[in-house]
Amino acid sequence: MLADGHMDNLNTTHPGSALIAEGDYNNEKEECRYEGTDRVEEKIIIIGICATFVAVLSIVLNTFYTIVFLRNQSLRRSGVFYFGVLAVIDAIMAVNYIALMSVSVYIDYFDSLFMYTIYLKYIRILMTESNCAICASLLMILLATTERVFRTFDGKQMEKCRRFLEKNRRAVSAFCVLFACCYKLCTFWEIAVVEKDCENPFEAVSLEKGYLSQNEYYQLIWQFWFRNIFERFLPFFYLIITNILLVRDATRALISLVSMYLLSQTLQVILTTWETFFGHTLNENLVTYSYMNDFVSIACLLSSCLRFPVYFVCNRQIHVATVNTVKDLKKMCCRRRGSSPTQAFLELVFLSSKLGFGNS
């Protein structure tokens, strides 16, 4: 099942990919089979417990930083604006990980038909949304890095680009998120939920390639070459180069953000290189390939979980805003203990308005 692949890898070009069942379902309609999670006893620990704990922690940390971000107008007007947008996306990605990867393992470990039925109902929508979030996350990191490049190097064009980005951070970020959604919308038609005439309930419904993925040219050119080049190789090496160039001028938070992303994506690049140039060896190393897929997702999840603690340590502006937010929340809690229900409600409304409109 999905636990044998990572969330942003929808390539079914190689037979070693266990993300979606192999073969065109039109030719195998009546074949009754269920491809569950391999080595489920081990993966219930790796994914079901450890990775799920990281995902929950990521949701808590990124949700809290989102509150800090919304409450402080100074953060929304500075270069760390992209960090706030990234926190929202990271929280969504952590929820997606639990719903897609963790639940996939739980289904096979507990042999739960009820969970499997629900899982199949949301898999296509959530897989599409997950890929949109992953793409948007990458674009936010590229935006933050590019703005710093414009700020570091001299030149009229650099100055114009820098001013444009600084004045239009919200609009540019919104455009990038919208672009990511449009770009990844095709994911929905790359997966199909197919019903079969089988006695076993687990075999009666399965995930197969959608009609887009069945097209050989689409699969090879778009899913494999285009995505690997523009989503993995180019961003990876662009960020390496800019990180080297900006190491003296960029903020510690930005350098740490990019470095964590590069570390989390190193295994992904190795895996993609293996798929691209040594794809014929995948069948001989299916266990290794499966574990590498799992650790790619976990590395990305861990990276998103650690971002806020890194911001807190490396960026004074975020540090101060976080401390002030904690103090305000603490005051509100202390007041609520000795106040009437009506007063507590009014204080909660007041805090909500502050979160919505922010303060300087």
Q: In terms of Cα–Cα distance, which of 255, 248, 86 is closest to 173?
A: 86
Determine the Cα–Cα distance for residues 274 and 276; give it in Å rounded to an integer: 5
Q: In terms of Cα–Cα distance, which of 166, 193, 176 is closest to 137?
A: 176
Determine the Cα–Cα distance for residues 102 and 225; give it in Å rounded to an integer: 29
pLDDT at res. 70: 93
pLDDT at res. 281: 86
Q: In terms of Cα–Cα distance, which of 33, 40, 23 is closest to 192?
A: 23
Q: Residue 192 CB: number of other CB atoms within 10 A?
A: 20
pLDDT at res. 208: 87
Q: In terms of Cα–Cα distance, which of 81, 33, 36, 89 is closest to 58?
A: 89
Q: What DSSP designation does 228 have?
A: I
pLDDT at res. 341: 58
* Ranges of residues in the chain whose predicted pLDDT is under 50: 9-29, 357-360
pLDDT at res. 32: 82
Say if residues 205 and 194 touch (Cβ distance below 8 Å): yes
17 token code pair: 């990919």
pLDDT at res. 11: 39
Continuous H helices in the chain: 40-45, 52-71, 73-76, 81-97, 103-110, 113-152, 156-167, 169-184, 201-204, 216-217, 227, 234-245, 252-277, 286-314, 316-337, 341-357
Say if residues 316 and 69 touch (Cβ distance below 8 Å): no
* Integer angstrom CA distances of residue 43 from 21, 112, 266, 278, 287: 19, 16, 22, 26, 12
73 token code pair: 């107008």
Burial status of residue 328 (CB atoms within 10 A of its CB: 0-12, 13-18, 19 or more): middle
pTM attached to this predicted model: 0.84
What residues contact 122, with CB distance under 8 A and at least 6 apart? Answer: 99
Instruction: Name the residue with tokens 């296509």.
Output: 124
The sign of the torsion formed by the CA atoms of 299, 301, 303, 305 equals: negative
The sign of the torsion formed by the CA atoms of 106, 107, 113, 115 equals: positive
pLDDT at res. 83: 96
What residues contact 194, with CB distance under 8 A and at least 6 apart? Answer: 25, 29, 205, 206, 207, 208
Instruction: Name the residue with tokens 């692949």.
Output: 5
pLDDT at res. 251: 76
The sign of the torsion formed by the CA atoms of 133, 146, 308, 48 equals: positive
The structural domains of the chain, ordered by start, are 2-316 (1.20.1070.10)
Displacement of CA 25 from its chain's centroid (Å):
29
b/e code 141-160 from CB counts within 10 Å (16+ = b) = bbbbbbbbbbbeeeeeeeee
Q: pLDDT tens, 316-346?
A: 999 999 999 998 888 877 766 655 555 655 5
95 phi, psi to nearest 5 deg: -60, -40
pLDDT at res. 171: 96
